[in-house]
Structure 1
Amino acid sequence: MRRVFGPVSRRRRLPGRVVALCGALALLAACGRGAADDGEGGGPGAPAGVTATAGSATSVHVMWNAVSTGAGVREYEVYRDAVKVEDVPAGEHMVDVTRLAPSTTYRFTVRARDTEGRLGPRSREVAATTPAAVAADHSPPSRPSAPRGRVVGARVVQLSWSAATDDRGVTSYDVYQGGTRIHSVGGGQTATVLTGLRPGTRYSFTVRARDAADNLSPASTPVVLTTAPGTDDGRGTAPTAFHAATHRTDGAYYLDLDWIAPRTGGVVTEYQIQLDGQPATSLVWGGTPPRGTASYSFYLGRDAGVSHRVRLRARLPDGTWGGFSPELTVTTGAGGK
């Protein structure tokens, strides 16, 4: 039985898309890491779920997920390009990087340092572009209106709101849990998914708008949600209408996948495809990712009668992985295809 998890040798139905592939399983584990990313032996892992959003013309809000390590994390180090700009205590997973230049693109990574002083590898790099500077502006945006939410599962909720207004334009929205800011999104986004919550827990969320001069609006009215009890697999954040089939071309079999992007409040740019219980391909869109139906094909092998199990999941806008789609089984050559 021949199963090939290597780079895609033939691509179908992807006009205008730029696809980055981490092919073989060994390559997938190393994707996005270089020599400069090596941590100290036995230290903490690389922070996951890193995002960066411009908060104003001179600041960027960087967030990440907590790292678990045997020795415990002492602090996180935040880098702008190759320069360390912030030290963040272990209990915090976000920071505003300030004193930046307007209209400039910056790239950020995060590293964890454990209680024994060992520094872990860098996270994946994320970029954010600050907006243009504005003349003296002391008028905050209006309050975001009509906030609403829905419970997606035991650990996930989705929030949405109506856009705020500002005489110079809204740059970002900050989401608060009680009095603590927990998330930020760009000014063109009026919905988001919040992950990593506790099952069966009552939460109160508010939203505030921010402009390029760092003026902050009044808080929206609260949205009170109680997460579902127990545990789940995040199925509410999974791609839907998932379909899989195979076809034969030039003596080889290819797997054809179609799905609808999950409702996240933002654009999904990355998917992980799992084949026979193992990560097979990381699919990253450049340009404009599809908001509705997406499709992708990749090489399986030349043998007929080989069965494969396949499923996929999306990386959510907050950097975490959503739930997997239902797992489907396909067989090469079935039905003469």
Structure 2
Amino acid sequence: MRRVPPAVMRASMRVVTRASTGAALLVLAACGWGAHDDGRGERLPSAPLGVTAAAGSATSVHVMWNLASGDPQVTRYEVFRGTTKVKDVPGAEHMVDITRLTPSTTYVFTVRARSAAGDLGPPSKQVRATTPAAVAADRTAPTRPGRPHGKAVGSRAAQLSWEKSTDDRAVASYDIYQGASKIHSVGGAQTATVVTGLRPGTRYSFTVRARDAADNLSPGSDAVRLTTAPGADDGQGTAPTGFRARTHRADRAYYIDLSWVAPEVDGVITEYRIHLDGRAVTSLVWGGTPPRGTSRYSFYVGRDAGVTHRVRIRAKLPDGTWGGFSAERTVTTGTTGTTGNQR
């Protein structure tokens, strides 16, 4: 793993390392990162991260991305199918269904953010989705999802699960509703999800409906009613797990080596923020496919032995909100040769 010198920590953005899985990683300074300049001194929105696309039926695809944060303010997202813009989405939303598609066809989607000043940012990475084959004369809807269950995860998230529906062909996707509003879709093989971005101390009602390739929609499941915890909390249900920190010495300098497992949320985790000694110091963005299993990262902390540091990490969730902090680890440079103490 490539080591990160102080100059890189001060850079606005550049590729600095690779994870053990081979996924490219970007390191961004804690302040002033993410936006581009249009040549006139105006800041452009960043390319949306965490973009995914999944077929919802033979004629529809569900596209989802992480909300942008920081300056400039994003007022809307533009979704493109190939080079054709197909949807405008308000800046507070991060998903959309693209309909009227052709069965058995592969589509390529990108998302671009537009600022309040009207400036359009660069496109996201391309994502592909293939619609299933159409089923002739299929007018039979799937059965309603059974035995739905849910629980609040702190003040801003909820875990939902249900028993799978049956269909005379196959279930293509499940739609999750908050009250009367559809808020998300997952693939037909999935029977659980995590809903994030909720309000503290608020009562919610969720239902699930199954959809087949012919766009037949099942009746709604029984409602899952839950109340999020009041006030701010540590969001442990959305925190990275298995967080470890050690130090090593190389080239007469000390580095902190981190490892962690991404939180279990529905969607893609592409960005993390490291807090060192109580303040945010670095943001990490996966430039390629995020690693599966354990992620690893190493960064420079100085040349002096006997210096104690506190470190923790948090993930940016697919809906653009920040998840809970991992456990905080304490390490001391040079206490045991190449490996610092941890508790």
Q: Paired residue for 2:341? A: none
Aligned to 1:107: 109
In structure 2, relative to structure 1, the CA distance for the partners of 1:212 and 1:181 (3 Å cut) is same
Give the distance between the partners of 1:302 and 1:28, measured in 2 at CA: 23
Q: Percent identity at matched positions?
A: 51
Contact 1:239/1:259 (CA < 8 Å) preserved in 2? yes
State the alpha-carbon separation in 1 of the partners of residues 168 and 231 from structure 2: 46
Letter of the aligned partner of 2:281 in structure 1? Q
Contact in 1 for aligned 2:269/2:290 (Cα 8 Å): no
Work out the CA distance in 1 between the residues paired with 2:308 and 2:202. Answer: 42
Structure 1 residues 270 and 72: alpha-carbon distance in aligned structure 2, compared to 1, 3 A threshold: closer
Mean Cα displacement is larger for which, 273-282 or 73-82?
Answer: 73-82
| CA displacement 1:246-296 (0-9 Å, x = unmatched) | 2345655443323343232x4654341415321243346738712xxx141
Contact 1:53–1:186 at 8 Å: present in 2 too?
Answer: yes
Contact 2:48 2:123 in 1 (8 A): yes
2:132 — aligned with what? 132
Quick check: 1:286 aligned with 2:289? Answer: yes
Label 1:48 to 1:140 Cα distance change in 2 as closer, same or farther (>3 A). same
State the match for 1:240 in structure 2: 241
TM-score (norm 1): 0.78
- Structure 2 SS opposite 1:199: coil
Decide whether aligned partners of structure 1 residues 161 and 323 sit closer, same or farther in structure 2, where only a CA change above 3 A counts: same
- 2:225 is aligned to 224
Q: What's the offset of the Cα at 1:234? A: 2.6
Question: Is the Cα–Cα contact under 8 Å of residues 55 and 132 in structure 2 kept in the other structure?
Answer: no
1:162 matched residue in structure 2: 163
Q: 5+ unaligned residues in a row in structure 2: which ranges? A: 339-343
Aligned residues: 323
Shift of 1:21: 1.1
Structure 1 residue 239: deviation in Å?
1.3
Post-superposition offset of 1:163: 1.8
What are the ranges of 5 or more consecutive residues in structure 1 without an aligned counterpart? Answer: none
RMSD (CA atoms): 3.8
Contact in 2 for aligned 1:251/1:302 (Cα 8 Å): no
Deviation at 1:229, TM superposition (A): 1.1
Any idea what the Cα deviations from partners look like across 1:131-153, whole Å, max 9, x if unmatched? 33133122222211111111112
CA deviations over 1:220-253 (Å, ceiling 9, x no partner): 1110011111223433210123221123456554
Q: Structure 1 residues 220 and 26 mapped into 2: Cα distance closer, same or farther (>3 Å)? A: closer
Amino acid aligned to 2:229: A
Secondary structure of 1:272's partner? strand
Bigger strand share: 2
Pick which of 59-68 and 275-284 moved more: 59-68
TM-score (norm 2): 0.77
CA distance in 2, matches of 1:56, 1:34: 37
1:87 correspondence with 2:91: no
Aligned to 1:303: 303
Quick one: distance in 1 between partners of 2:48 and 2:287? 19
What one-letter code is carried by the residue in structure 2 that aligns with 1:289?
R
Q: Does 2:121 match 1:121?
A: yes
